[in-house]
Chain A
Amino acid sequence: MSARSSIAGVCVFAAMVSIAAQPQRERTWVAPPAADSRHNPLNEEAEILAGGSKLFRQRCALCHGQDGTGTNRGPNLMTRHVQHQSDGALFWKISSGNTRTGMPGYSFLPEVQRWQLVSHLRAQARE
C-alpha cells in the first residue's frame, strides 16, 4: 500500500470534516396527529425522574444543554412552543429524530426510557 494513497485518504477525510454543515433549525417539525393520542404511562416517582435526568445528561445535554435551554447545536426545550406539545408528540420526536436538523432518533432505547425523557422534560420545565 503506497504511503501516498494513505495520506490522500486521510486528507480527504479531514477535508470532509472541515466542511461540516452548519446547524439547521426547523420550525415546522410537527409530529403526526396520531402521536398525540399516546399518553405517558409513567408516574412522577423520584426514581423515574432521576433516571430521566440521567438519560438526558447522557443523550441530550450535549446539544440541548444541561438544563435543556439549548446550545448552538440544539434548541431550547423549555420554551412554550415545545412544552405546549403533547407527551405523545415529544415521545414521537425523541423516537424518530430528524435527519434534516441533526436530531438523532432514539428508537434504539427501550420505550420506557423514552417516556422517562418526556417526564424529565416536563419536570425540568416546572423548576
Chain B
Amino acid sequence: MATRAHLAVSVALTFCSITSASAQEPAYFVTYDHYLEERGNLEIAVATTTGLPTSGRHAYTAPWLELEYGLTGWWTAELYLEGVTTRGDGNAFTGWRFENRFRPLKTEHPVNPVIYVEYEAVNEASRIQKEIVGAGGVEFEPIDELKDEHERELEAKLILSSVARGWNVSENFIVEKNFSADEGLEFGYAVGVSRPLGTLARGRSCLVCPENFAIGLEMYGGLGSTEGFAGTDQRHYLAPVVGWTLSGRTSVKASVGLGLTDTSDRYLLRFGVAYELPIRTRQ
C-alpha cells in the first residue's frame, strides 16, 4: 500500500512537469548513444526505477532527478540526485552523481565514440541502477543501515554508437572503481538498438502519431571484476523501451526490464519524463 502511494506520488510529480515544449531523447534508459545535449540547453528529467525482486524481498522504487547541460557541442555534463523508497522499509536520500560525456570527433562517422567519466558519492541503499557492474545482487539489508555505508566511486565508459538503416546501435563498455572498498575494478556493459516509428512528418501537430514514438531494446549487466568473473552471480537484464515525444521539448519513456539470472530482480520497471529548456538564447 505504501509502495503504491509512493508510486502514485512519483507519477504525479512526474506529470506535473509536463508542459508544452524539441527533445532529442533516445529510447534508452541505461545505454548511452552519441547524441549529446544541445549546446546551451538544460534538460531536466525525473525518472524512477521500480524493482520487483524474487519472493521474500522488499519491492522498491528509486527516483532520481537528472540535470543535463550542453556546455559545448562536444561536452555534456550531468548531475543526478537520487533516493529510494521501499515497501515497509522506509526511504532514504542515496546520494549524487556527476557525469561528463565528451565526443572527440567533429562530424558523424560509421562508429561514433564518446568518452564518459562519472564521479559517484552514493550509499549502499542506491538502487537506481543506471548501470550495473561487477557481480552480486542488490543489497537487501535495512535501508537505515545501508544509507550509512558511503561509497565514493569513479566510473568510466567507452560509448560506441552507429546509425544503420534508420536504427541506432549503441554499445557501452563500463569500468568502475569503488574507492571506499577493496573491490578491484568492476566491469559492466550495456547494448541497445532503437529506431523511430514514423517516416514522413505530417504537416499538423499530433500527439499520438507514429512520428512521435521511438522503440528500442536494451541489454545490460555486470561482468565481474578483477577479483573474479563470478559468472553465476551476475545480474543481467533484457529491457524493451518505448519513447514518446509529447510536444516539442517534452518526452516520456518507459521500460520493462526482465531479469535473466537468479541474482537479478525479476522485473525492473522504469519510467521517466524529460523537459528540455534552452537557457542560453538571445534573438
| Contact partner, A1, options B70, B107, B121, Cβ 8 Å | B121
Contact A1 B122 (CB under 8 A): yes
| Contact partner, A52, options B77, B201, B280, Cβ 8 Å | B201
Which of B34-42, B45-53, B228-236, B264-272 is found at the contact surface with chain A?
A: B34-42
User: Is A104 an interface residue, CB under 8 A from the partner?
Assistant: yes
Query: Binary interface profile of B, 73-100, with partner A (CB < 8 Å = 1, else 0)?
Result: 1100101010000000000011110100
- Cβ-closest chain A residue relative to B42: A17
Distance, CA A96 to CA B108, complexed state (A): 5
Distance, CA A13 to CA B105, complexed state (A): 24
Chain B interface size, under 10 / 10 to 19 / 20 to 34 / 35 or more: 35 or more
Distance, CA A104 to CA B26, complexed state (A): 14
Contact B73 A103 (CB under 8 A): yes
- Cβ-closest chain B residue relative to A59: B22
User: Is A111 an interface residue, CB under 8 A from the partner?
Assistant: yes
Give the distance to chain B from A68, nearest Cβ to Cβ, in Å.
13
Contact B35 A21 (CB under 8 A): no
| A residues in contact with B77, CB < 8 Å | 13, 16-17
| Contact partner, B39, options A9, A21, A116, Cβ 8 Å | A21
- Cβ-closest chain B residue relative to A55: B201
Greatest chain A CB density within 10 A among B24, B39, B74, B103 is at B39
Contact B73 A101 (CB under 8 A): yes
Interface of A is mostly: helix
| Contact partner, A9, options B98, B205, B281, Cβ 8 Å | B98
User: Is A85 an interface residue, CB under 8 A from the partner?
Assistant: no
Known A-B contacts A108-B24, A116-B201; A1 and B196 likewise in contact (beta carbons under 8 Å): no
| Contact partner, A98, options B79, B107, B166, B201, Cβ 8 Å | B107
| A residues in contact with B166, CB < 8 Å | 110-111
Contact B72 A107 (CB under 8 A): no
User: Is A54 an interface residue, CB under 8 A from the partner?
Assistant: yes
Give the distance to chain B from A15, nearest Cβ to Cβ, in Å.
10
Distance, CA A6 to CA B166, complexed state (A): 41
User: Is B177 an interface residue, CB under 8 A from the partner?
Assistant: no
Distance, CA A19 to CA B198, complexed state (A): 38
Query: Binary interface profile of A, 1-44, with partner B (CB < 8 Å = 1, else 0)?
Result: 10001100110110011011101000000000000000000000
B 198-222 contacts with A by CB, 8 A: 198-205, 211
User: Is B55 an interface residue, CB under 8 A from the partner?
Assistant: no
Known A-B contacts A6-B81, A16-B71, A21-B71; A108 and B22 likewise in contact (beta carbons under 8 Å): no
User: Is B136 an interface residue, CB under 8 A from the partner?
Assistant: no
Give the distance to chain A from B22, nearest Cβ to Cβ, in Å.
4
Contact B73 A108 (CB under 8 A): no
Contact A20 B280 (CB under 8 A): yes
Distance, CA A104 to CA B24, complexed state (A): 10
17 A/B residue pairs, CB under 8 Å, sorted by A: A1-B93, A5-B96, A9-B79, A9-B98, A12-B98, A13-B67, A13-B69, A50-B202, A59-B22, A71-B282, A97-B108, A99-B73, A99-B103, A104-B73, A108-B26, A113-B198, A113-B211
13 more CB-based (< 8 A) A-B contacts, given A1-B93, A58-B248: A1-B96, A9-B79, A17-B71, A50-B202, A65-B283, A73-B280, A99-B36, A100-B106, A102-B39, A102-B72, A105-B107, A108-B168, A110-B166
* CB-based closest 7 A-B pairs: A50-B203, A51-B201, A102-B39, A102-B73, A99-B74, A96-B108, A99-B73
